[in-house]
Structure 1
Amino acid sequence: MNVLIVYAHPEPRSLNGSLKNFTVDRLTQRGHDVRVSDLYAMRWKPAADGDDFLERDRSRRLDLIADSQQAYTTGTQAPDIAAQQADLRWADAVLFQFPLWWFSMPAILKGWVERVYAYGFAYGVGEHSETHWGDRYGEGVFQGKRAMLIVTAGGWESHYAERGINGPIGDLLFPITHGILHYPGFDVLPPFVLYKVERMDEARFARVQQELGRRLDDLWTDAPIAYRKQNGGDYDIPALTLKPGLEEASLGDGAARASGLRLHVRR
């Protein structure tokens, strides 16, 4: 299988750097082809702007959506954008690895998404009608591909638990897993998250390698997060609101009524 790693950390000798190297070695040893987009090493330009569209009429007002569509359709995008899109097409699975900074991904990785996810490529595709609102949230160009986050956090695991001060980690990562990944069609695996990473001795790092190795070995067999598909019958179209009666969920030992972001996951 083909695996693309989109990696965002500025220090090669960091824990993230060691985990990235381990991931490449593990996947390669298992016979997979691996490519790495090391955004800091590439000096990736994070800001989406008019320079991304090589033949844009600069006498006109910049329209990032329309200009993105035109450049993608005509093959006149900046070369770094086109290269990353080609790698995404090539990949059967994509791993996004980054430290959790200020409750989200580093700005350079967000900029990668904003530039590479061109209109007509990652969004704005498919029929829009009274019964089908585009190919998104479970459909789209990445349908059939898998994606997983590898995330490091400085705080304790309890800080990101259901009653933790930072909020549940699943909720914090929801804009990425559901929005950036499920939206264009990826099957999204549960994230691999490491906590309290400032304290990592050799014994713990060995355990981390075992845990991450298992997740990598099971990349194509682990069950993805059961996000509801937009056009799968659970949402009223074109309002795109969840239909009544779908709030009941089985949580723990008893029945409970789901709410918030959990409404968008089948139980």
Structure 2
Amino acid sequence: MNVLIVYAHPERRSLNGAINDFTVERLRANGHHVQVSDLYAMNWKAPLDAHDVRDRNADAPFHASLDSKRAFENGLQSRDIEIEQDKLRWADALILQFPLWWFSMPAIMKGWVERVYAYGFGYGVGEHSETHWGDRYGEGLMTGKRAMIVVTTGGWESHYSPRGINGPIDDILFHIQHGMLFYPGFDVLQPFVLYETHRMDEARLHATYDALGQRLDGLWDDAPIAFRKQNHGDYAIPQLTLRDELAAGKTGFAAHID
């Protein structure tokens, strides 16, 4: 299988760098083909702007979605965007690895999503009608592929528990797992979260490798998160609200998991 790792940490000699090296070695030892998009090493351009479109009319106002659509349809995207899209087409699985900074991914990785998920590639796909509202949330160009987050944080696991001060980790990662991975069609696996990164010794590092290795070994076998698919009857269309008889009494993120 082909695995793309999108990695965001500014220091290769960090814990994240060691985890990334281990991930690549484990996947290759299992016979998989691996590519790594090391965003800091690539000096990845994070902002989505008019420079992402080749041969555009500089006198016309920049429109993020419409310019993205035109560029994608006409082969006018910036070359760095096209290269990353080709990697996603090649990949059977995507791993996003990053430290949790201010309750989300680093800005450089958010910029990767914003620029690579072009109109017609990551969104704006499929028909919009009274019964089908685009190919998204369980459908899309990434259908049949798998995805997983590998994330580190200095906070304690209890800080991210259901009653923890930071909020539940599943809620914090929902916008990434549901909004950036499930949206274009990935089957999303449970995240691998490493807490209290400042308390890492040799024994704990090896235990981390063992736990992560098991997750990597199960990349194609573990059950994905049971997010509800948009166009399969759970949602009223075009309102896109969950049907009243489903998840009775639940609201918020948890209601969108079957």
* TM superposition score category, shorter chain reference: over 0.9
CA offsets 1:70-127 (integer angstroms, 9 cap, x no match): 1111111111000000000000000000000000000000000000000001100101
Deviation of 1:259 after TM superposition, in Å, equals: 2.8
Distance in 2 separating the partners of 1:228 and 1:247: 11
User: 1:245 corresponds to which residue?
Assistant: 245
SS at match of 2:69: helix
User: 1:52 corresponds to which residue?
Assistant: 52
Query: 1:226 is matched by which residue type in structure 2?
Result: A
User: 1:143 corresponds to which residue?
Assistant: 143
User: 1:107 corresponds to which residue?
Assistant: 107
User: 1:263 corresponds to which residue?
Assistant: 255
Written as runs of structure 1 = structure 2, the 5 A alignment for 1:96-175 is 96-175=96-175
Deviation of 1:258 after TM superposition, in Å, equals: 3.0
Deviation of 1:55 after TM superposition, in Å, equals: 1.4
Distance in 2 separating the partners of 1:55 and 1:226: 43
CA RMSD of aligned residues (A): 0.6
Deviation of 1:57 after TM superposition, in Å, equals: 1.1
Deviation of 1:56 after TM superposition, in Å, equals: 1.1
TM-score by length of 2: 0.99
TM-score by length of 1: 0.96
User: 1:252 corresponds to which residue?
Assistant: none
Is 1:15 the counterpart of 2:15? The answer is yes
User: 1:207 corresponds to which residue?
Assistant: 207
What 5-or-longer segments of structure 2 have no aligned partner?
A: none
CA offsets 1:202-240 (integer angstroms, 9 cap, x no match): 000000000000000000000000000000100000000
What 5-or-longer segments of structure 1 have no aligned partner?
A: 249-256
CA contact (8 A) 1:55 1:71 kept: no
SS at match of 2:230: coil
User: 2:6 corresponds to which residue?
Assistant: 6
Query: 1:28 is matched by which residue type in structure 2?
Result: R
Q: Which runs of 4+ in 1 moved over 6 A?
A: none
User: 1:37 corresponds to which residue?
Assistant: 37
SS at match of 1:6: strand
Is 1:191 the counterpart of 2:191? The answer is yes
Distance in 1 separating the partners of 2:111 and 2:11: 19
SS at match of 1:209: helix
User: 2:222 corresponds to which residue?
Assistant: 222
CA offsets 1:242-266 (integer angstroms, 9 cap, x no match): 0011124xxxxxxxx4332100000
User: 1:253 corresponds to which residue?
Assistant: none
Query: 1:40 is matched by which residue type in structure 2?
Result: Y
SS at match of 1:151: strand
Distance in 1 separating the partners of 2:53 and 2:252: 39
CA offsets 1:167-223 (integer angstroms, 9 cap, x no match): 000000000000000000000000000000011000000000000000000000000
Distance in 1 separating the partners of 2:69 and 2:244: 36
SS at match of 1:232: helix
Percent identity over paired residues: 64
SS at match of 2:232: coil
